[in-house]
Structure 1
């Protein structure tokens, strides 16, 4: 969601810069490059990640992974309708509509019937329908009334020839594809209008460079305004926004042209700095590598795995480069005792403790290789570069259900640190891809079993 917001904001700022500073200047080729580059730039830069120094030193990261288990529901039930699924369905439907429109427009062009000729080394299709001239890809299309005595008006031909030689169809295909998949971005529609208008400026300029009278050419354009033909992927000779075209035909190059070109470059640099994904350089990656290595050593006590299955002891690993951190461990121990009391202590049943009711299964779900293996996989798949340090303790509770078939479903996460929640959810889902658990059993038959996996993280 953050990336989409950055794309919309970045593309909006860059197209606003075009309309505010560049559009009215007679530098059409530069403007074309700017429009295409800034569009692709705004859709790319939020995905680029750069490493910067942390705003404050991160001295310590401690993570505690518990496998406290509880029975929430032993009977199958339908999943609640997820609003996210509805959003994806609506997105898919609207995207398909845009793509269908694009394909239909392409097929309409290809299905135009007419005589194919070579005119001044260019492909021309003289159609049976009385359509006004337009160009697409490598062909000029026009009705019979524009091809008199085997001749085409030089001004019309030069206009459409300019579209072909400058490959304007590529620009249109790019913007239509971008619009189809990101139709929710209002900046895309401004980009499309700006690109189409700039194409017409370029084509008009090509005609007037051949010393045709400006007023005669403008009268020709006005004569063609009576008829209209609209194909999404085409450049038509009659472009509706005539007023701007006529103004630009009589505009002279400004002394500020070079200055405005220069302004656009630092604007792109500033946009890069604002919308690039920033990650803080800190030793978390090394911490994780060191911890994983330490956990693989033979002196690691495998009895912890049995304790985890019983739900009586938490599995704790310290992602720290410090050898001793007694104060932090004491603090964390107090937190653990609050979350899950030690064995032997009496406590009321609640969401944080293991249920001891008569509904308890005779066998709990088991991850292949045991909970130690699950812990190792989750820790390995965490992406530290996406974690945002927050003062104090951050906790993510991963809730999930192991079905009677051994599949993990209904994975949800709740916690006070959004970045930690997201990474915990992603790493847990990846750890369970193509994995079949041994399901819980009650009275000798497999049953659904809901579980909770708390994951806590603290920075000093």
Structure 2
């Protein structure tokens, strides 16, 4: 899958999940449920492009098997591929350069905040470290709470403690990773911003449980215009949409039965959207796989005619030159004589390789043609040493004709494998592979 195709799909899927949230979860007083959905909606789009539905797999494989041998790449096409590869490389490098810069911005913000905190006063309250006189905040970063002046408002302190105890810092860290990797996706930024807002709703709900709602709303209003500088990576008491926060404070949650219905609806929406998106992807992949069939119709027709002229009980393989060879036959090809003795007389351990201590196992593949000749010998699996591979190839190339394989009374070309082994004690072993 193309990297930028993956990014496009992930971004589109994220927009769909964002749209579902706007329809059923936006401004609803079910903060934990909204938080869980937004986290899932951020993660799922990055996974969905990799989902494979095992339907129509067989037909797709057949098309691929038939089409691949017919692809011919000339000099012009190769040059275009090289040029295209260079441009794609530049784009990919640029993309990850921006990701790295964004990551550095986040890391730099952490260091900057910690420097600010070190200049303030530190104390322990409610089992947590609280910094005052920091000239930023109020807010939290990790398990640290900070206030701009020496004054600590108890209600605001409870709000910041709610952030810590609810584990919002883990969500924030996850969001930063996603935004670094998928900075090009606007939907991921929208989901991340909404998740931070839901964090504030959840903390407001907890902090206002023992306070008068009107007084809490007044507290938000009275401090809004005196807010000190805040950072994107922190949870700031006055950083998020004030109107929505006050509105959410006034909403009364419905009975638990309503919550269950809402939960079922959201989970169903997630499941349906996941299945539909995966099905859409499957259809696209099937059409993509079928496209080369139209482009190579003449080649496929020619191959089909040749297949019809040859019996099909054996497993076949299509070669790059358009020829067909078999992997199995009713009667497999065999060496005319004692194969082991012939190898013993002709195969030698290269002295230079032996002196260097080179040894290893490998595999040579060749085809025994319908006339018994040895065709296209090549290294299928290298021993790791060129001298050993070349010696085995030399011997295979000089082999006399074999008895060809037989299928339904006629000679056919069959692929053979020759395992070989150069051992540390200086011995050579090989076996007939057909």
Q: Give the TM-score of the pair, scaled to structure 1.
A: 0.56
Q: Which residue of structure 1 lines up, in the alignment, with residue 238 of structure 2?
A: 238
Q: Which residue of structure 2 lines up, in the alignment, with residue 119 of structure 1?
A: 125
For the structure 1 residues 291 and 223, does the alpha-carbon distance in structure 2 shift closer, same or farther, using more than 3 Å as the test? farther
Q: Which residue of structure 2 lines up, in the alignment, with residue 134 of structure 1?
A: 139
1:46-445 equivalences in 2 (<5 Å): 46-53=49-56, 62=66, 65=69, 82-112=86-116, 113=118, 114-127=120-133, 129-146=134-151, 152-210=152-210, 212-226=211-225, 227-254=227-254, 257-276=259-278, 278=282, 314=321, 316-317=323-324, 372=376
Give the match's secondary structure for 1:143: coil
Compare the two structures and name the one with the higher helix fraction. 2
Matched, 1:17 2:24: no
CA deviation digits over 1:207-226, x for unaligned, max 9?
1112x111211121122212
- In the alignment, structure 2 segments of 5+ residues that lack a partner are 287-311, 331-363, 367-374, 382-434
Matched residue count: 299
CA contact (8 A) 1:124 1:141 kept: yes
For the structure 1 residues 126 and 49, does the alpha-carbon distance in structure 2 shift closer, same or farther, using more than 3 Å as the test? same
For the structure 1 residues 3 and 372, does the alpha-carbon distance in structure 2 shift closer, same or farther, using more than 3 Å as the test? farther
Query: Which of these two proteins has the greater Rg computed from alpha carbons?
Result: 2
Residue 204 (structure 1) shift? 0.5
Residue 93 (structure 1) shift? 3.0
Return the alpha-carbon distance in structure 2 between the equivalents of residues 138 and 3 of structure 1. Answer: 36
For the structure 1 residues 30 and 318, does the alpha-carbon distance in structure 2 shift closer, same or farther, using more than 3 Å as the test? farther
Give the match's secondary structure for 1:117: strand
For the structure 1 residues 319 and 17, does the alpha-carbon distance in structure 2 shift closer, same or farther, using more than 3 Å as the test? farther
CA contact (8 A) 1:292 1:376 kept: no
CA contact (8 A) 1:99 1:180 kept: yes
Return the alpha-carbon distance in structure 2 between the equivalents of residues 42 and 80 of structure 1. Answer: 28
Residue 65 (structure 1) shift? 3.8
- In the alignment, structure 1 segments of 5+ residues that lack a partner are 147-151, 281-289, 296-303, 309-313, 324-367, 378-460
Q: Which residue of structure 2 lines up, in the alignment, with residue 41 of structure 1?
A: 44
Residue 48 (structure 1) shift? 2.3
CA deviation digits over 1:409-444, x for unaligned, max 9?
xxxxxxxxxxxxxxxxxxxxxxxxxxxxxxxxxxxx
Residue 134 (structure 1) shift? 0.6
Residue 139 (structure 1) shift? 1.1
CA deviation digits over 1:97-152, x for unaligned, max 9?
2112111111112222223321111121224x322311111111113332xxxxx3
CA contact (8 A) 1:95 1:183 kept: yes
CA contact (8 A) 1:200 1:239 kept: no
Residue 240 (structure 1) shift? 3.6
